[in-house]
Amino acid sequence: MNKKTIWITGGSTGIGKALAIKFANEGWNVAISARRENLLNEISVNHENISPFPLDVTDKSKCKEVFEKIKNKFENIDICFFSTGTWNPKKERDIDVEQIEEVFKINFFGTLNTIKAVEEYFKNKKSGTITIVSSIAGYRGLPNSTGYGPSKSALNNLAESLYFDFGRSNVRVCLVSPGFIKTPMTDKNDFKMPFLKTTEYAAEKIYDGLVNKKTFEIHFPKSLTIVLKILSFLPSKIYFGLVGKLTKYQKKD
């Protein structure tokens, strides 16, 4: 029986790394990509099922080149998990156009570049799963989130659009919306993060959602995400009032 294969971007740290190890432990072939080759190599040395494929997702041609290498090595790719992202809370408090452009370049267009690299393969194969990692920050606008939140909101819309487009070819598009997970990226936050979970917890939830279930969105922890989903349906006036109190946002006169 041939092993199944998953390609994970953002695989050097955080959720991507934990998920790579989870899939490897479950007997899958795992291709991991990220910019920092040294971190990829450290992971692969300790897990024989994990193979490193260094990649900067902002490089369109490189995305295609790396995917060709992965196909050549494993032949059949079952799941792609695109989780590249960046976040700098100190630069999100004001409108820093250059910073916002950089966030979109990595979070949105980086993800789009990798999806484009695999589009023809999956549509011809007529099976498989493409996974887009977003965030609870993409549900509705939040204070001090001029770039990160909008980039994730754009990914939510993209995932819904691609759900229809790839669905015609029997390819599943899945959206992952994590709550607060302890990673090098969330370590930058200077506020209390409710229901903070480990990357191992996230990996378990994602693995279960991708392998055992067929839902469009995998979101966790439910104790947080369900509340936020309810908030997202509220009229703007009520939403702004509640979120303002929760985040201690004060409107200036």
Residues 89-136: pLDDT tens digits?
Answer: 777 778 889 999 999 999 999 999 999 999 999 999 999 999 999 999
Kindly state the average pLDDT of the residues 1-27. 94
pLDDT in tens, 139-189: 988 777 889 999 999 999 999 999 999 999 999 999 999 988 887 666 676
In a domain, 159, yes or no: yes
For the stretch 24-43, pLDDT in tens is 999 999 999 999 999 999 99
Largest CA distance in the chain: 68
Domain count, the chain: 1
Lowest-confidence segment of 2-16, 81-95, 206-220 by average pLDDT = 81-95
Cβ neighbours of 105 (radius 10 Å) = 15
The pLDDT-based confidence of 199 (bands split at 50, 70, 90) is: very high
| Of 105, 109, 218, nearest in space to 172 by CA | 218
Judge whether 63 lies within some domain: yes
Q: Provide the pLDDT for residue 18.
A: 96
Identified catalytic residue from 139, 148, 201, 207? 148
Give the model confidence (pLDDT) of 31-77 as tens digits: 999 999 999 999 999 999 999 999 999 999 999 999 999 999 999 99
pLDDT tier at 242 (50, 70, 90 boundaries)? confident
201: buried, middle or exposed (CB in 10 Å: 19+, 13-18, 0-12)? Answer: middle
Question: Looking at residue 253, what is its pLDDT?
Answer: 43
Q: For residue 140, what are the CA distances in angstroms to 88, 107, 199, 231, 243?
A: 19, 17, 24, 9, 10
The number of residues making up the chain comes to 253
> Could you tell me if residue 28 is inside a domain?
yes
Q: Which residue reads 């969330």 in tokens?
A: 186
Q: Is residue 58 part of a domain?
A: yes
Question: Active-site residue 148, yes or no?
Answer: yes
Give percent of the chain above pLDDT 70.
92
**252 assigned to some structural domain:** no
The answer on pLDDT for 231 being more than 90 is: no
Q: Please give the residue range of the domain that contains residue 240.
A: 5-246
CA 133, CA 26: separation in Å to the nearest integer?
21
Question: Has residue 179 been placed in a domain?
Answer: yes
* 122 contacts 166 by C-beta, under 8 angstroms: yes
In this structure, is residue 253 part of a structural domain? Answer: no
Is residue 138 domain-resident?
yes
* Sheet of strand 129-133: strand arrangement: 50-52, 29-33, 5-9, 79-82, 129-133, 172-178, 217-220
CATH number (domain holding residue 160): 3.40.50.720
